[in-house]
Amino acid sequence: MRLPHMFCLLPLIAGVACSAPAWAEQEEVPLPRHMTTEERARWTPPLPVPLRAPPPSPVRAVAEYEPNAGILMRWTATSSLLPLQTEMITKVTTLDSRAKVFLVVASSTQQASATTALSNAGADLARVQFIIAASDSIWMRDYGPRYVVDETGQLAIIDHTYNRPRPNDNLIPTALSNAWNQPRYEIGLLHGGGNYHLFDDRAAFLTNLIFDPSEGNPSLSLADVQARYLDYQGNLVEVTAALPQSLDATRHIDMWMLPASRNSVIISEYSPSLLGGVPAQVTNDMATTLAGRGYTVFRTPGFQCSGAHCTYANAVILNDLVLTCRFTPASNPNQYAAQNAQAVSVFQQAFPGRTIDTVDCTNIIALAGAIHCIVMHVPEVGTIVLFRDGFED
């Protein structure tokens, strides 16, 4: 069996050798995407991070539907999530024509365990690159590096302060910047990366969580936030309402919206009777707004499931492949069969010519996230251009 490539980031972030921490050998109790009660009790929002100079302009953040070298993920020693991880990584490395999985593990011991699990599942290990680094949680979308492309076609990392008391997660972009020799720029926002979606023509959206007193930046104005995204990522950002926290504990936009192309988008659709109609109002307003601007708007089901927020919009686009969720509760595996089938049908319409497949998100959705939440896209150098048609206007 060919062993996948590995490198160690621990010396780059902590000045220590690549030995296994004691906790790395044990099964984790996974942290949810939102803060735990214990985390919230000790959470004090950090002071604003001093702004570093933005990257030399012009730059452009890269949309997820553009060409990608692969995705960043973080392996977790949690039995309830192992089936999801092995299914997803196997499909990425065998159904897409070229994408790699850059997989953060805690130790060489955990790398060996992951290698065995992935090999048994049929993953192409030649397309898995292990990265040994300390981390706290699986939610790579929220703390991982956000990429922009400059006029030479080179990538740079735009970093934010993770709005969770999870210091190892917060250091992952710095470690990758050092390991991959990529410049890193600090945007100076307290933020979770899943609360942001963009199109390749500079349009971008996030919810009003960005101004939250505990998890956001209450001292900044809308103009301040828009200026930072324009300077650091080349985006024209708009802020929309969030779903109620009683439905979606994260209030992140990636739980109900997915840009599918420059001119199309997937938005979740909710029953008007759910929570007084607020989720329906928030998403219908966005659908109406974007349709009025000429977007083709596709709708997929969104609903409460056993106290969680089931959504199909939290999906992963990766070159030839698009993965969305399926939900199969052990007590009744066919309970959501109709919704699962409807979502696949919509994705087939939204992504003609791409392979559509699903990943079982039944267990992870109870942690307030799904498959988009656990990946960060790594754009393909040399295929991304700074100016798309109309971008420079």
Report the chain's mean pLDDT, rounded to a whole number.
92
Instruction: Report yes or no on 132 lying in a domain.
Output: yes
What pLDDT digit, counting tens, does each position of 322-377 carry? 999 999 999 999 999 999 999 999 999 999 999 999 999 999 999 999 999 999 99
* Domain tally, the chain: 1
Q: Assess contact for 322 and 339: CB atoms under 8 A.
A: no
| Neighbouring-strand partners of residue 19 | none
Residue 381: per-residue pLDDT = 85
| 133 beta partners | none
Using CA atoms, how far apart are residues 101 and 124, in angstroms rounded to an integer?
Answer: 10
Show the CA angle centred on residue 239, arms to residues 236 and 240, nearest 5°: 135
Which of 211-215, 260-264, 347-351, 386-390 is the least confident region?
Answer: 386-390
Here the CATH number for the domain that contains residue 72 is: 3.75.10.10
Ranked by mean pLDDT, the top range of 23-27, 64-68, 380-384 is: 64-68
The reply to whether 113 falls in a domain is: yes
Which run of H or of E encompasses 391?
none
Whole-number pLDDT of residue 389 = 53
Is 18 inside any structural domain? no
51 occurs within a structural domain:
no
Q: Report yes or no on 285 lying in a domain.
A: yes
- The whole-number average pLDDT for the span 242-260 is 98
pLDDT at residue 24, as a whole number: 45
> How far apart, in Å, are the Cα atoms of 261 and each of 78, 200, 256, 385?
34, 8, 16, 16
Q: Is residue 393 domain-resident?
A: no
Question: Domain containing 91: what range?
Answer: 6-10+56-379
Q: Which two tokens stand for residue 2?
A: 């060919």
Question: Cβ neighbours of residue 112 under 8 Å, at least 6 residues apart?
Answer: none
Contact residues for 18 (Cβ-Cβ < 8 A; gap 6+): 8, 10, 11, 107, 108, 132
Domain presence at residue 388: no
Least confident of 50-59, 91-100, 256-265: 50-59
For the entire predicted model, the pTM comes to: 0.94
Which residues make Cβ contacts (< 8 Å) with residue 238, sequence separation at least 6?
Answer: 203, 204, 205
| Domain presence at residue 365 | yes
